[in-house]
Structure 1
Amino acid sequence: MPILADALQDAGCADEALLAHCREPGAHVRGCWVVDLVLGRE
């Protein structure tokens, strides 16, 4: 997920909460709000 944060930031994403969440250690599993957002789920 840290690589995703870097890519999003390079693409112009300025959402600090989203970027910080992506850079947190640990697994991001089903129910992770960032994963759902990226996949277009609600």
Structure 2
Amino acid sequence: MSKLTIGMVNSQPIIVGVTIIYAIEIFYLMAPLYNLQKK
């Protein structure tokens, strides 16, 4: 039980980091499309 909890806590920053990276990539992919639609 404690080992599983420690594993979840240790993997949490990795999950957060991957989520931020995906969000940044999606933002950079969507920004040009949004700018093209706006013009």
Q: TM-score, normalised by structure 2?
A: 0.30
Greater length-normalized contact order (CA 8 Å, ≥ 6 residues apart): 1
* Bigger radius of gyration: 2
Structure (1 or 2) with the greater helix fraction: 2
Provide TM-score, normalisation by structure 1: 0.28
